[in-house]
Structure 1
Amino acid sequence: LNLKPFPTFMGYSSRLMAESWESNNLYWARLADESGYPPAMLHVLIPQLTRRMVEKIFATHLEDWPALLRALRETGEEFRQGKVASLPKTSSPSSL
């Protein structure tokens, strides 16, 4: 994710924002894979990581894309260090 932030464009800013949030899911999936989590855990990990990222955003205006990227990277680093989303790496069948 070593890209320049996307600028907002008149009526297209919401679309760009939506696309940028979707690219976060790809980043979270890569981190989960690097950490040995099975793909089935993404439905639990992604909401937790996204919530944590949103907590870290400190943006002063709509075009503050560096704030979003900074929050994404900080959350990813916390995840790598085991400070966020501590879940078992293998899913076991439920005993229901």
Structure 2
Amino acid sequence: MSIRDSIVVCIEEISSERGFDHASNLFESGVLTSLDVLSLVAFIEDTFSLEITGDEIDMASFGTVDGLVNLVMTLQANAAHGAAAARSHG
């Protein structure tokens, strides 16, 4: 399952919304509430083995499906870069 598909399924489970516009703001459109962010963070951390800091929780990242996909991809790239750097210095 792709990152996008995984995130969409999670949002559908959290909100019980189906067929929402993936480009729309998830909060302004009523798909998610601010409390749903906690479930979404836990899902992303568990599913993709990532750690999300408070600084990374913002509307640019969490407002749309695209923002969430970009966040996961960025965190994965940073984790891979950090692991590669650790191996080269170790």
Q: TM-score range by the shorter chain?
A: 0.3 to 0.5
| Greater gyration radius | 1
The TM-score normalised by the length of structure 2 is 0.45
The TM-score normalised by the length of structure 1 is 0.43
